[in-house]
Amino acid sequence: MAKYEIIGGTPLSGEVVISGAKNAVVAILPATLLVPGKCRIENVPDISDVRILLDIMRSMGASVEWAEPGVVEIDCTDVPYGEPNPELVRKMRASYYLLGAQLGRYGRSHVALPGGCAFAARPIDQHIKGFGLLGADVEETEEYVAMEPGPDGLHGQRISLDVVSVGATANIMLAACLIEGQTIIENAAKEPHIVDLANFLNTMGARISGAGTDTIKIRGVKQLHGGTYAAIPDQIEAGTYMAAAVATGGNVLVQNVIPKHMECITTRLREMGAKITEFDDAIRVQATRPLRRITVKTMPYPGFPTDMQAQICVCMVLATGTSRLTESVYETRFFGYCSELENMGAKIKVEGKTASVVGIGDRKLRGTTVHAKDLRAGAALIIAGLAAEGTTYVKNIHYVERGYERIIEKLTKLGAQIKRIEE
Protein backbone atom coordinates (compact mmCIF):
# COMPACT_ATOMS: atom_id res chain seq x y z
CA MET A 1 0.00 0.00 0.00
CA ALA A 2 1.34 3.42 -0.87
CA LYS A 3 0.70 6.74 0.88
CA TYR A 4 1.42 10.40 0.21
CA GLU A 5 3.76 12.36 2.43
CA ILE A 6 3.08 16.08 2.33
CA ILE A 7 5.16 18.73 4.05
CA GLY A 8 2.73 21.62 4.19
CA GLY A 9 3.05 25.35 4.29
CA THR A 10 4.23 26.26 0.78
CA PRO A 11 1.84 28.46 -1.24
CA LEU A 12 1.29 26.82 -4.64
CA SER A 13 2.69 28.84 -7.48
CA GLY A 14 3.12 28.34 -11.22
CA GLU A 15 1.10 26.61 -13.92
CA VAL A 16 -0.84 23.38 -14.03
CA VAL A 17 -2.34 21.75 -17.12
CA ILE A 18 -5.68 20.06 -16.59
CA SER A 19 -6.28 16.57 -18.05
CA GLY A 20 -9.29 15.24 -19.93
CA ALA A 21 -12.50 14.82 -17.95
CA LYS A 22 -12.71 11.51 -16.12
CA ASN A 23 -16.48 11.41 -16.04
CA ALA A 24 -16.73 12.19 -19.77
CA VAL A 25 -14.09 9.66 -20.80
CA VAL A 26 -15.54 6.84 -18.67
CA ALA A 27 -18.79 7.26 -20.64
CA ILE A 28 -17.16 7.78 -24.05
CA LEU A 29 -15.05 4.60 -23.84
CA PRO A 30 -18.05 2.26 -23.32
CA ALA A 31 -19.85 4.26 -26.04
CA THR A 32 -17.26 3.03 -28.55
CA LEU A 33 -18.96 -0.38 -28.27
CA LEU A 34 -21.74 1.13 -30.42
CA VAL A 35 -19.31 2.01 -33.20
CA PRO A 36 -18.26 -0.36 -35.99
CA GLY A 37 -14.88 1.17 -36.79
CA LYS A 38 -11.93 2.79 -35.11
CA CYS A 39 -12.46 5.62 -32.59
CA ARG A 40 -9.52 7.82 -31.75
CA ILE A 41 -10.16 9.51 -28.41
CA GLU A 42 -7.88 12.37 -27.41
CA ASN A 43 -7.41 14.00 -24.02
CA VAL A 44 -7.82 10.66 -22.19
CA PRO A 45 -6.45 10.85 -18.64
CA ASP A 46 -4.15 8.02 -17.57
CA ILE A 47 -5.93 7.23 -14.30
CA SER A 48 -6.84 3.89 -12.76
CA ASP A 49 -10.58 4.15 -13.60
CA VAL A 50 -9.69 4.55 -17.28
CA ARG A 51 -7.15 1.71 -17.14
CA ILE A 52 -9.72 -0.64 -15.57
CA LEU A 53 -12.30 0.30 -18.18
CA LEU A 54 -9.83 -0.31 -21.00
CA ASP A 55 -9.00 -3.71 -19.46
CA ILE A 56 -12.71 -4.52 -19.39
CA MET A 57 -13.05 -3.57 -23.04
CA ARG A 58 -9.95 -5.54 -24.02
CA SER A 59 -11.28 -8.58 -22.19
CA MET A 60 -14.51 -8.22 -24.18
CA GLY A 61 -12.51 -8.44 -27.41
CA ALA A 62 -11.96 -4.76 -28.30
CA SER A 63 -8.70 -3.68 -29.87
CA VAL A 64 -7.36 -1.00 -27.54
CA GLU A 65 -4.13 0.94 -27.88
CA TRP A 66 -2.57 4.03 -26.31
CA ALA A 67 -1.49 5.59 -29.60
CA GLU A 68 0.42 8.30 -27.75
CA PRO A 69 0.15 9.80 -24.25
CA GLY A 70 -3.45 10.93 -23.77
CA VAL A 71 -4.72 9.27 -26.95
CA VAL A 72 -6.56 5.97 -27.05
CA GLU A 73 -7.49 4.17 -30.26
CA ILE A 74 -10.24 1.65 -29.77
CA ASP A 75 -11.99 -0.57 -32.24
CA CYS A 76 -14.99 -2.61 -31.08
CA THR A 77 -16.03 -3.83 -34.55
CA ASP A 78 -15.45 -7.50 -33.77
CA VAL A 79 -16.50 -7.57 -30.12
CA PRO A 80 -18.85 -10.55 -29.68
CA TYR A 81 -21.79 -10.40 -27.26
CA GLY A 82 -20.86 -11.65 -23.80
CA GLU A 83 -20.82 -10.71 -20.13
CA PRO A 84 -17.96 -8.34 -19.30
CA ASN A 85 -15.60 -9.72 -16.63
CA PRO A 86 -17.61 -9.20 -13.39
CA GLU A 87 -14.51 -8.87 -11.22
CA LEU A 88 -13.27 -5.93 -13.29
CA VAL A 89 -16.77 -4.43 -13.57
CA ARG A 90 -17.06 -4.37 -9.76
CA LYS A 91 -13.86 -2.35 -9.47
CA MET A 92 -15.46 0.88 -10.70
CA ARG A 93 -18.67 2.81 -10.98
CA ALA A 94 -18.86 3.80 -14.62
CA SER A 95 -18.86 0.18 -15.79
CA TYR A 96 -22.64 0.58 -15.58
CA TYR A 97 -22.40 2.34 -18.96
CA LEU A 98 -21.77 -1.08 -20.50
CA LEU A 99 -25.47 -1.79 -19.85
CA GLY A 100 -26.69 0.99 -22.14
CA ALA A 101 -23.93 0.33 -24.67
CA GLN A 102 -24.66 -3.42 -24.86
CA LEU A 103 -28.41 -2.84 -25.07
CA GLY A 104 -27.87 -0.38 -27.93
CA ARG A 105 -25.46 -2.62 -29.81
CA TYR A 106 -26.82 -6.13 -29.22
CA GLY A 107 -30.39 -5.51 -28.07
CA ARG A 108 -29.56 -7.30 -24.83
CA SER A 109 -27.12 -7.03 -21.96
CA HIS A 110 -25.71 -8.81 -18.94
CA VAL A 111 -23.40 -6.82 -16.66
CA ALA A 112 -22.45 -7.25 -12.98
CA LEU A 113 -23.51 -4.44 -10.66
CA PRO A 114 -20.81 -1.76 -10.49
CA GLY A 115 -18.49 -0.85 -7.60
CA GLY A 116 -16.70 2.47 -7.19
CA CYS A 117 -16.55 5.02 -4.39
CA ALA A 118 -19.07 3.99 -1.74
CA PHE A 119 -19.69 7.38 -0.09
CA ALA A 120 -23.47 6.92 -0.31
CA ALA A 121 -26.17 4.55 -1.45
CA ARG A 122 -25.93 4.86 -5.22
CA PRO A 123 -29.08 3.29 -6.72
CA ILE A 124 -29.50 2.72 -10.46
CA ASP A 125 -33.29 2.49 -10.50
CA GLN A 126 -33.55 5.39 -12.99
CA HIS A 127 -31.24 3.60 -15.43
CA ILE A 128 -33.43 0.49 -15.13
CA LYS A 129 -36.61 2.52 -15.51
CA GLY A 130 -35.21 4.03 -18.73
CA PHE A 131 -34.18 0.69 -20.19
CA GLY A 132 -37.62 -0.74 -19.32
CA LEU A 133 -39.40 2.13 -21.08
CA LEU A 134 -37.23 1.55 -24.15
CA GLY A 135 -38.83 -1.90 -24.28
CA ALA A 136 -36.28 -4.07 -22.47
CA ASP A 137 -37.24 -6.86 -20.09
CA VAL A 138 -34.93 -6.13 -17.18
CA GLU A 139 -33.86 -8.62 -14.54
CA GLU A 140 -32.04 -7.07 -11.59
CA THR A 141 -30.48 -9.26 -8.90
CA GLU A 142 -28.04 -8.46 -6.12
CA GLU A 143 -25.23 -9.51 -8.46
CA TYR A 144 -26.09 -8.30 -11.95
CA VAL A 145 -28.52 -6.64 -14.37
CA ALA A 146 -29.64 -8.64 -17.42
CA MET A 147 -31.80 -7.38 -20.26
CA GLU A 148 -33.56 -8.92 -23.25
CA PRO A 149 -35.94 -7.25 -25.68
CA GLY A 150 -39.51 -7.29 -24.30
CA PRO A 151 -42.56 -8.52 -26.26
CA ASP A 152 -42.84 -5.28 -28.31
CA GLY A 153 -39.11 -5.06 -29.06
CA LEU A 154 -36.94 -2.02 -28.39
CA HIS A 155 -38.31 1.36 -29.47
CA GLY A 156 -37.81 5.08 -28.85
CA GLN A 157 -39.76 6.44 -25.89
CA ARG A 158 -40.42 9.53 -23.77
CA ILE A 159 -38.64 9.02 -20.44
CA SER A 160 -39.04 11.43 -17.56
CA LEU A 161 -36.41 10.88 -14.87
CA ASP A 162 -37.62 11.11 -11.27
CA VAL A 163 -34.24 12.46 -10.13
CA VAL A 164 -31.61 14.30 -12.13
CA SER A 165 -29.05 11.57 -12.72
CA VAL A 166 -25.84 11.86 -14.74
CA GLY A 167 -25.51 8.09 -15.04
CA ALA A 168 -29.12 7.43 -16.06
CA THR A 169 -29.12 10.25 -18.61
CA ALA A 170 -25.91 8.98 -20.23
CA ASN A 171 -26.95 5.34 -20.11
CA ILE A 172 -30.29 6.03 -21.80
CA MET A 173 -28.52 8.09 -24.47
CA LEU A 174 -26.19 5.18 -25.13
CA ALA A 175 -29.02 2.68 -25.41
CA ALA A 176 -31.24 4.93 -27.56
CA CYS A 177 -28.75 5.94 -30.29
CA LEU A 178 -29.32 2.82 -32.36
CA ILE A 179 -32.90 2.05 -31.29
CA GLU A 180 -35.58 2.85 -33.85
CA GLY A 181 -37.71 5.93 -33.24
CA GLN A 182 -37.27 9.01 -31.08
CA THR A 183 -36.33 8.92 -27.43
CA ILE A 184 -36.89 12.01 -25.30
CA ILE A 185 -35.22 12.26 -21.89
CA GLU A 186 -36.95 14.76 -19.62
CA ASN A 187 -35.39 16.07 -16.41
CA ALA A 188 -32.05 15.11 -17.93
CA ALA A 189 -28.72 15.92 -16.29
CA LYS A 190 -26.97 18.96 -17.81
CA GLU A 191 -23.39 18.31 -16.72
CA PRO A 192 -20.61 19.17 -19.20
CA HIS A 193 -19.75 15.47 -19.50
CA ILE A 194 -23.31 14.73 -20.69
CA VAL A 195 -22.81 17.28 -23.46
CA ASP A 196 -19.43 15.75 -24.22
CA LEU A 197 -20.87 12.25 -24.55
CA ALA A 198 -23.58 13.57 -26.88
CA ASN A 199 -20.95 15.41 -28.94
CA PHE A 200 -18.87 12.24 -29.19
CA LEU A 201 -21.86 10.17 -30.29
CA ASN A 202 -22.95 12.82 -32.81
CA THR A 203 -19.40 12.92 -34.23
CA MET A 204 -19.76 9.18 -34.80
CA GLY A 205 -23.12 9.66 -36.59
CA ALA A 206 -25.75 9.73 -33.84
CA ARG A 207 -28.62 12.25 -33.88
CA ILE A 208 -28.81 13.74 -30.39
CA SER A 209 -30.05 17.26 -29.69
CA GLY A 210 -30.66 19.26 -26.55
CA ALA A 211 -27.74 17.92 -24.49
CA GLY A 212 -26.93 20.55 -21.86
CA THR A 213 -30.64 21.33 -21.36
CA ASP A 214 -33.09 19.28 -19.32
CA THR A 215 -34.67 17.76 -22.43
CA ILE A 216 -32.54 15.59 -24.68
CA LYS A 217 -33.87 14.12 -27.92
CA ILE A 218 -32.30 11.11 -29.55
CA ARG A 219 -33.40 10.03 -33.00
CA GLY A 220 -32.29 6.41 -33.52
CA VAL A 221 -29.99 5.82 -36.50
CA LYS A 222 -29.15 2.56 -38.28
CA GLN A 223 -25.39 2.70 -37.75
CA LEU A 224 -22.59 4.82 -36.30
CA HIS A 225 -19.12 5.15 -37.79
CA GLY A 226 -15.57 5.62 -36.50
CA GLY A 227 -13.86 8.97 -36.10
CA THR A 228 -11.72 11.20 -33.89
CA TYR A 229 -12.89 13.04 -30.79
CA ALA A 230 -11.17 15.06 -28.04
CA ALA A 231 -12.72 14.93 -24.56
CA ILE A 232 -13.29 18.15 -22.60
CA PRO A 233 -11.01 19.17 -19.73
CA ASP A 234 -11.90 17.92 -16.27
CA GLN A 235 -14.03 20.46 -14.39
CA ILE A 236 -13.42 18.80 -11.03
CA GLU A 237 -9.67 18.37 -11.46
CA ALA A 238 -9.48 22.07 -12.36
CA GLY A 239 -11.65 22.98 -9.36
CA THR A 240 -9.43 20.91 -7.10
CA TYR A 241 -6.28 22.81 -8.17
CA MET A 242 -8.16 26.10 -7.82
CA ALA A 243 -9.17 25.16 -4.28
CA ALA A 244 -5.59 24.09 -3.53
CA ALA A 245 -4.33 27.46 -4.75
CA VAL A 246 -6.81 29.27 -2.50
CA ALA A 247 -6.15 27.06 0.55
CA THR A 248 -2.39 27.60 0.36
CA GLY A 249 -2.63 31.33 -0.39
CA GLY A 250 -1.03 30.68 -3.77
CA ASN A 251 -0.94 32.06 -7.29
CA VAL A 252 -1.69 29.40 -9.91
CA LEU A 253 -2.52 29.52 -13.60
CA VAL A 254 -4.86 26.61 -14.27
CA GLN A 255 -4.55 25.79 -17.96
CA ASN A 256 -6.69 23.77 -20.38
CA VAL A 257 -10.04 24.61 -18.78
CA ILE A 258 -13.38 25.77 -20.10
CA PRO A 259 -13.99 28.81 -17.85
CA LYS A 260 -17.78 28.57 -18.38
CA HIS A 261 -17.76 25.11 -16.77
CA MET A 262 -15.93 26.56 -13.78
CA GLU A 263 -18.32 29.45 -13.05
CA CYS A 264 -20.11 27.77 -10.14
CA ILE A 265 -16.74 27.21 -8.47
CA THR A 266 -15.15 30.52 -9.49
CA THR A 267 -18.04 32.47 -7.98
CA ARG A 268 -17.66 30.83 -4.60
CA LEU A 269 -13.88 31.21 -4.48
CA ARG A 270 -14.25 34.91 -5.35
CA GLU A 271 -16.72 35.26 -2.48
CA MET A 272 -14.02 33.87 -0.21
CA GLY A 273 -11.72 36.68 -1.32
CA ALA A 274 -9.68 34.99 -4.05
CA LYS A 275 -8.74 37.02 -7.10
CA ILE A 276 -9.70 35.05 -10.18
CA THR A 277 -8.88 36.07 -13.72
CA GLU A 278 -10.43 34.22 -16.65
CA PHE A 279 -8.71 33.76 -20.01
CA ASP A 280 -9.93 31.87 -23.09
CA ASP A 281 -8.82 28.48 -21.82
CA ALA A 282 -7.13 29.23 -18.52
CA ILE A 283 -7.93 30.68 -15.10
CA ARG A 284 -5.52 32.41 -12.73
CA VAL A 285 -6.25 32.01 -9.03
CA GLN A 286 -4.54 34.23 -6.46
CA ALA A 287 -5.39 34.24 -2.79
CA THR A 288 -4.14 35.40 0.55
CA ARG A 289 -5.53 34.50 3.93
CA PRO A 290 -7.65 35.29 5.84
CA LEU A 291 -10.39 33.92 3.59
CA ARG A 292 -14.01 34.97 4.07
CA ARG A 293 -16.69 32.54 5.18
CA ILE A 294 -19.27 31.47 2.56
CA THR A 295 -22.45 29.47 2.11
CA VAL A 296 -22.51 26.69 -0.47
CA LYS A 297 -25.16 24.21 -1.49
CA THR A 298 -24.24 21.43 -3.90
CA MET A 299 -26.62 20.98 -6.82
CA PRO A 300 -26.64 19.29 -10.23
CA TYR A 301 -24.96 21.39 -12.96
CA PRO A 302 -24.94 24.39 -13.35
CA GLY A 303 -24.96 24.38 -9.55
CA PHE A 304 -21.94 23.82 -7.32
CA PRO A 305 -20.81 20.20 -7.92
CA THR A 306 -21.04 17.61 -5.18
CA ASP A 307 -17.64 16.39 -6.42
CA MET A 308 -16.16 19.70 -5.12
CA GLN A 309 -17.86 19.54 -1.73
CA ALA A 310 -14.88 18.19 0.19
CA GLN A 311 -12.32 20.48 -1.49
CA ILE A 312 -14.33 23.67 -0.82
CA CYS A 313 -14.84 22.45 2.75
CA VAL A 314 -11.07 22.66 3.31
CA CYS A 315 -11.14 26.30 2.12
CA MET A 316 -14.00 26.93 4.56
CA VAL A 317 -11.96 25.39 7.37
CA LEU A 318 -9.21 27.92 6.60
CA ALA A 319 -11.58 30.93 6.54
CA THR A 320 -12.64 33.36 9.25
CA GLY A 321 -16.10 32.74 10.70
CA THR A 322 -18.56 29.90 10.27
CA SER A 323 -19.37 28.70 6.74
CA ARG A 324 -22.34 26.55 5.85
CA LEU A 325 -22.09 23.67 3.41
CA THR A 326 -25.25 21.85 2.33
CA GLU A 327 -25.14 18.65 0.31
CA SER A 328 -28.19 17.98 -1.83
CA VAL A 329 -26.97 15.13 -4.05
CA TYR A 330 -25.29 12.62 -1.68
CA GLU A 331 -26.19 13.31 1.93
CA THR A 332 -23.63 10.96 3.46
CA ARG A 333 -20.66 12.39 1.60
CA PHE A 334 -19.47 14.39 4.64
CA PHE A 335 -18.53 11.18 6.42
CA GLY A 336 -15.74 10.53 3.92
CA TYR A 337 -13.50 13.27 5.25
CA CYS A 338 -14.87 15.54 8.00
CA SER A 339 -13.56 13.45 10.89
CA GLU A 340 -10.14 13.29 9.17
CA LEU A 341 -10.07 17.09 8.85
CA GLU A 342 -11.03 17.32 12.52
CA ASN A 343 -7.94 15.22 13.33
CA MET A 344 -5.97 18.01 11.66
CA GLY A 345 -7.60 20.69 13.81
CA ALA A 346 -10.78 21.57 11.88
CA LYS A 347 -14.10 22.07 13.62
CA ILE A 348 -17.05 20.81 11.58
CA LYS A 349 -20.53 20.03 12.84
CA VAL A 350 -22.64 17.93 10.51
CA GLU A 351 -26.40 17.97 11.02
CA GLY A 352 -28.30 16.07 8.35
CA LYS A 353 -27.52 17.59 4.98
CA THR A 354 -25.63 20.61 6.34
CA ALA A 355 -22.18 21.07 7.79
CA SER A 356 -21.31 24.12 9.85
CA VAL A 357 -17.62 24.72 9.33
CA VAL A 358 -15.98 26.87 11.98
CA GLY A 359 -13.05 28.59 10.27
CA ILE A 360 -9.66 28.60 11.99
CA GLY A 361 -8.91 32.15 10.81
CA ASP A 362 -5.22 32.94 11.02
CA ARG A 363 -4.26 29.65 12.63
CA LYS A 364 -3.01 26.58 10.75
CA LEU A 365 -4.14 22.99 10.42
CA ARG A 366 -1.60 20.50 11.76
CA GLY A 367 -0.19 17.60 9.83
CA THR A 368 -1.04 14.05 10.92
CA THR A 369 -1.97 10.71 9.35
CA VAL A 370 -5.35 10.72 7.60
CA HIS A 371 -7.25 8.19 5.52
CA ALA A 372 -8.95 8.88 2.19
CA LYS A 373 -12.32 7.18 2.06
CA ASP A 374 -13.19 8.13 -1.50
CA LEU A 375 -11.70 9.98 -4.46
CA ARG A 376 -12.75 13.55 -3.68
CA ALA A 377 -12.28 13.10 0.07
CA GLY A 378 -8.71 12.08 -0.75
CA ALA A 379 -8.21 15.20 -2.86
CA ALA A 380 -9.48 17.35 0.02
CA LEU A 381 -7.07 15.74 2.48
CA ILE A 382 -4.19 16.47 0.13
CA ILE A 383 -5.25 20.14 -0.02
CA ALA A 384 -5.50 20.21 3.77
CA GLY A 385 -2.02 18.69 4.02
CA LEU A 386 -0.60 21.29 1.64
CA ALA A 387 -2.04 24.09 3.80
CA ALA A 388 -1.12 22.52 7.15
CA GLU A 389 2.00 22.99 9.22
CA GLY A 390 4.10 19.88 9.62
CA THR A 391 3.86 16.58 7.79
CA THR A 392 0.63 14.93 6.66
CA TYR A 393 0.42 11.32 5.53
CA VAL A 394 -2.58 10.54 3.33
CA LYS A 395 -3.40 6.84 3.23
CA ASN A 396 -5.69 4.84 0.88
CA ILE A 397 -4.42 6.81 -2.08
CA HIS A 398 -5.72 4.27 -4.58
CA TYR A 399 -8.93 6.31 -4.36
CA VAL A 400 -7.12 9.46 -5.45
CA GLU A 401 -5.37 7.62 -8.26
CA ARG A 402 -8.76 6.67 -9.68
CA GLY A 403 -9.33 10.19 -10.83
CA TYR A 404 -6.27 12.49 -10.72
CA GLU A 405 -3.69 12.07 -13.43
CA ARG A 406 -0.03 12.54 -12.35
CA ILE A 407 -1.11 14.43 -9.24
CA ILE A 408 2.33 14.25 -7.56
CA GLU A 409 4.07 15.56 -10.65
CA LYS A 410 1.56 18.39 -11.11
CA LEU A 411 1.67 19.48 -7.47
CA THR A 412 5.45 19.24 -7.31
CA LYS A 413 5.68 21.52 -10.34
CA LEU A 414 3.59 24.01 -8.35
CA GLY A 415 6.14 23.92 -5.55
CA ALA A 416 4.38 21.47 -3.24
CA GLN A 417 6.46 19.12 -1.13
CA ILE A 418 4.65 15.85 -1.77
CA LYS A 419 5.97 12.33 -2.25
CA ARG A 420 4.41 8.94 -2.91
CA ILE A 421 5.85 6.42 -0.47
CA GLU A 422 5.49 2.64 -0.79
CA GLU A 423 4.83 1.07 2.62
Q: Looking at the annotation, which residues are catalytic?
A: 117
Map the footprint of ligand EPU across residues 277-306, applying CB under 6 A. Answer: 306
From 114, 151, 113, select the one nearest 132 (Cα to Cα).
151
Q: Does 159 bind ligand EPU (CB under 6 A)?
A: no
- Name 397's Cβ contacts closer than 8 Å, sequence gap at least 6: 2, 3, 4, 372, 378, 420
Which of positions 119-158 make contact with ligand EPU (CB under 6 A)? 122-127
Nearest Cα residue to 308 out of 416, 235, 387, 402: 235
Backbone φ, ψ for residue 370 (5° rounding) = -130, 160
* 329 part of the interface to ligand EPU, by CB under 6 A: yes
267 half-sphere exposure, CB direction, 13 A CA radius: 11
Cβ count within 10 A of residue 127: 25
Closest separation between CB of residue 122 and ligand EPU, Å? 5
Number of residues lying near ligand EPU (CB under 6 A): 24
Taking the complex as a whole, how short is the minimal distance between the CB of residue 322 and ligand EPU, in angstroms?
Answer: 26
Contact track, ligand EPU, 351-380, x by CB under 6 A = ------------------------xx----
Q: Does 117 bind ligand EPU (CB under 6 A)?
A: yes
Give the residue among 364, 357, 361, 359 at the shortest CA–CA distance from 337.
357
What Cα–Cα distance (Å) separates residue 360 from each residue in 12, 197, 342, 355, 385? Answer: 20, 42, 11, 15, 15
**Nearer Cβ to ligand EPU, position 376 or 395?**
376
Question: Which listed range, 60-68, 117-125, 140-148, 209-217, lies at the site for ligand EPU (CB under 6 A)?
Answer: 117-125
Compute φ and ψ for 328, nearest 5 degrees.
Answer: -115, 5
For the window 167-196, what string marks contact with ligand EPU as x by the rule CB under 6 A? xx--------------------x-------
- Where do runs of H (alpha helix) occur along 18-145? 22-31, 48-60, 86-89, 97-106, 125-133
Selected binder of ligand EPU within 57, 88, 166, 224 (CB under 6 A): 166
**Applying CB under 6 A, does 99 fall inside the site for ligand EPU?**
no
Distances (CA, A) of 316 to 27, 336, 340, 341: 32, 17, 15, 11
Q: List 274's β-bridge partners, or say none.
A: none
Q: Nearest approach, Cβ of 31 to ligand EPU (angstroms)?
A: 13
Is residue 93 at the binding interface for ligand EPU, with CB under 6 A as the rule?
yes
Interacting positions 22-51 with ligand EPU (CB under 6 A): 23, 26
Is 246 a residue that touches ligand EPU (CB under 6 A)?
Answer: no
Residues that bind ligand EPU (CB under 6 A): 23, 26, 93-94, 117, 122-127, 163, 165-168, 189, 306-307, 329-330, 375-376, 403
